[in-house]
Amino acid sequence: MDGILVYQHIRALLEDGALASCNPAIAPAQVQPASLDLRIATRGYRVRSGFLPENATVADRLEESTLYTFDVTDGHVLEKGHCYVFPLLEHVEKPLPYTIRANPKSSTGRLDLFTRLLADHCGRFEQAPPEYTGPLYLEVVPRSFPVRLQTGTSLSQIRFAAGNAMLTDDELRAEYEREPLLFRDDGSPIPVDEAKIDDGLCMGVALKRDKDVTGAVGYQARKYSAVLDMSETDAHDWFEFFDAIEEPKRGRMIVEPEEFYIFASKERIRVPRHLAAEMTAYDVGIGELRTNYAGFFDNGFGGSTGTRAVLEVRPHDVPFLVEDGQVFFKLQFFRTLEDPDVAYGDARLESHYQGQGLRLSKHFRATP
């Protein structure tokens, strides 16, 4: 059967020793409904450029490209715009018949931290092939703010897929017809014939206030800020790092090249308990916009009446006019091997973004 492994399967891999960790051991809290959080180890490498180790080990490439190394046991500041590589505490101890896929965690993307998983002799970022064994590494580039992190900080997560788990558009439409996936801000379902399904479920951006987006409609990163300590939750004042974007006239605004923005989706999204989803770019034909820094949605995200997706947006090349409701991204849905024992929003998990409207990362105090 094709599908993504879920909570109980990942726990079984840990119990079997297929996935292991340097000290400290993998903690139960790292296991999510369909993914496993990864943590950086004790040593960091400042490298002159990113790389793909298709014909070498990551360690070999680090020998060639490292400018200096540093210890992160008690914390270290990463400078904005510099490229770093970190060995991860977790590694694959036994060969598995699954493709490993990775993506930044939600909080990582909302801080404009660009991350990519690296694996030995692998010519693609963010994945490792079936039967892979060995260490895992993470490339990290702070794009907007200098950040302080330390051993054990979790920036990325991995999931395990057997075969082709992605739903076709026909399968996705059938899921939608059984139970709606998109909702308006008042919680009413959007009918399937009003949903746009095109190689995934297409969704828009919100630039007008409503029941969920009651204050600012977006945030733009400040060019100069203090250091953001990733070990502290609810600790930073948002206005030291972002400027609030008020509702624009006529519901449209121009976003500027190479600036970083946070917006909310126009629709609420519900991910059924038996599925997971991944945010992907809608179409390069709409413009050079990156909207999927951190785009994995675990089973159960959104509850019964949906939750807004938060978009991390960085335009490229030219200024770009954005309008309220404009299709901006899409979600591709994936079947899981079975329902997870624990779904997103469960009290046993730290589900920081269930029921969110427009929200910055968990590191900030209340936003307007």
Instruction: Say which residue the tokens 């190394």 belong to.
Output: 69
Q: pLDDT (tens digit, 9 = 90+) per residue, 100-152?
A: 999 999 889 999 999 999 999 999 999 999 999 999 999 999 999 999 999 99
Residue 354 resides in a domain: no
Token pair, residue 40, equals 């950086």
Percentage of the chain beyond pLDDT 70 is: 93
Quickly state the pLDDT bin for 58 (edges 50, 70, 90). very high
What is the structure's pLDDT at 264?
93
What is the structure's pLDDT at 352?
54
What is the structure's pLDDT at 318?
85
- Return the biggest CA–CA distance within the chain: 58
177 and 126 assigned to the same domain: no
Identity (one letter) of the amino acid at 75?
A: G
Give how many domains the chain has, as a whole number: 2
Residue 340 resides in a domain: no
What is the structure's pLDDT at 24?
86
Nearest to 165 by CA among 300, 31, 338, 328: 338
What is the structure's pLDDT at 218?
96
Residue 341 resides in a domain: no
156 and 174 assigned to the same domain: no
99 and 138 assigned to the same domain: yes
CB atoms within 10 A of CB 253: 20
11 and 125 assigned to the same domain: yes
Cite the DSSP H helix spans in 140-267: 169-178
Nearest to 365 by CA among 228, 254, 271, 268: 228
| Mean pLDDT of the region 292-299 | 76
Q: pLDDT (tens digit, 9 = 90+) per residue, 312-360?
A: 998 888 888 999 999 888 999 999 999 999 998 776 666 555 556 788 9
Residue 358 resides in a domain: no
Local structure of 147: helix, strand or coil: strand
Nearest-5° Cα angle at 165, 106 to 267: 45
Does 290 score more than 60 pLDDT? no
134 and 187 assigned to the same domain: no
151 and 181 assigned to the same domain: no
Token pair, residue 130, equals 């079936």
181 and 157 assigned to the same domain: no
Q: pLDDT (tens digit, 9 = 90+) per residue, 238-287?
A: 999 999 999 999 999 999 999 999 999 999 999 999 999 998 876 555 55
Which residues lie closer than 8 Å to 64 by C-beta, 6 or more apart?
Answer: none
50 and 182 assigned to the same domain: no
What residues make up the domain containing 218?
A: 169-335
Which residues lie closer than 8 Å to 292 by C-beta, 6 or more apart?
Answer: 279, 280, 281, 312, 329
Residue 197 resides in a domain: yes
7 and 135 assigned to the same domain: yes
7 and 110 assigned to the same domain: yes
Query: Phi-psi bin for 89: left (phi > 0), alpha (psi -120 to 50), beta?
Result: alpha
Q: pLDDT (tens digit, 9 = 90+) per residue, 71-99?
A: 999 999 999 999 999 999 999 999 999 99
Residue 60 resides in a domain: yes
Token pair, residue 299, equals 């089973």
- Is there a contact between 105 and 279 (Cβ–Cβ < 8 Å)? no
Residue 25 resides in a domain: yes
Q: pLDDT (tens digit, 9 = 90+) per residue, 194-203?
A: 999 999 999 9
23 and 150 assigned to the same domain: yes
Q: Are strands 261-269 and 307-315 parallel, antiparallel or unpaired?
A: antiparallel
Does 161 score more than 60 pLDDT? yes
37 and 117 assigned to the same domain: yes
What is the structure's pLDDT at 322?
92
Q: With b meaning 16 or more CB within 10 Å and e meaning fewer, what string describes 181-206?
A: bbbbbeeebbebeebebeebbbbbbb
Local structure of 242: helix, strand or coil: strand
CATH number at residue 236: 2.70.40.10
Residue 347 resides in a domain: no
